[in-house]
Amino acid sequence: TEKETSIEDGSTTAEVFNTLDESASRTEEWVIKNQKYIFIIVGLAAVLVLGFLGFDKFIQEPKEGQATNDMFQSQQYFDQAVNGTSKDSLFTLALNGADGKYGFLDIADVYSGTKAGNLSNYYAGMAYLNMKDYTNAVTYLNAFSSDDDILGPIAKGGIGDAFVQLEQLEDAYDYYVQAAQLKSNDYTTPMYLYKAGVIGLKLGNNSKALGFFNQIKSDFPQSTEAKDIDVFIGKAEAASN
């Protein structure tokens, strides 16, 4: 009986190895038959990887550096406009450039896809907002994207400010809510909760406005917006009844 079992086990093992050998042979045959296409696919993958690395190293990085250099003068004009008196003329220089230097509009266009190009959209939008060109402010701030805790919410809030001036309160309300919820910090969050609450009251969104005001009181008691928040809570409560 033991001998028969041993023979059966040996036979089963042999079948397994035969099956493996057959599978390996088929695999080898397939590889040999299709090796031309395999080499093409591997080659294309290598070209794509090397191409991406080369693009990033030899094209994108120098482009980023050049864009940042070209932004320098426009940023100076912008800072001078914010802190100075000849605001409109300085904002115009920041937007359009001067003395052969690019302004934010050119940088956003020429260096589209770079960090500097993206940031130029923000600066251009804020410049237009200060110049009361609210339509262009919305256009350029919408083109800006950022994960920054401050700049991201401020861009959304700036769009809200522009829509208020354009008397599009529904749009303003939506962007203030987005700005408040985008990132949580002690500066932008209570500011845009407050603005969303004020515009919410005007639109009749009284319960939502009450929630925004209560959130300021509970979560941001040290903020500037919290100083008179009880007055607004009272208004929202009265409007909700």
pLDDT tier for residue 241 given thresholds of 50, 70 and 90 = confident
Check pLDDT > 60 for residue 140: yes
pLDDT (0 to 100) of residue 58: 42
Per residue in 203-214, pLDDT (tens digit) is 999 999 999 999
Give residue 194's Cα distance to chain centre.
24
Average pLDDT score over residue span 133-146: 96
Residue type at position 198: V
- The mean pLDDT of the chain is 83
Backbone angles phi, psi at 168, to 5 degrees: -105, 75
CB 197 within 8 A of CB 188: no
For residues 46 and 60, give the distance between their C-alpha atoms in angstroms, rounded to a whole number.
Answer: 20
pLDDT (0 to 100) of residue 65: 72
pLDDT (0 to 100) of residue 55: 41
Report the b/e string of 155-174 with b at 16+ CB within 10 A: bbbbbbbbbbeeebeebbbb
pLDDT (0 to 100) of residue 19: 52
Per residue in 39-93, pLDDT (tens digit) is 555 555 655 555 544 444 544 566 677 778 888 889 899 999 988 877 889 999 9
Check pLDDT > 60 for residue 21: no
Per residue in 30-39, pLDDT (tens digit) is 555 555 555 5
For residues 120 and 108, give the distance between their C-alpha atoms in angstroms, rounded to a whole number.
Answer: 5
Please give the share of the chain, as a percent, with pLDDT higher than 90: 60
Please give the share of the chain, as a percent, with pLDDT higher than 70: 73
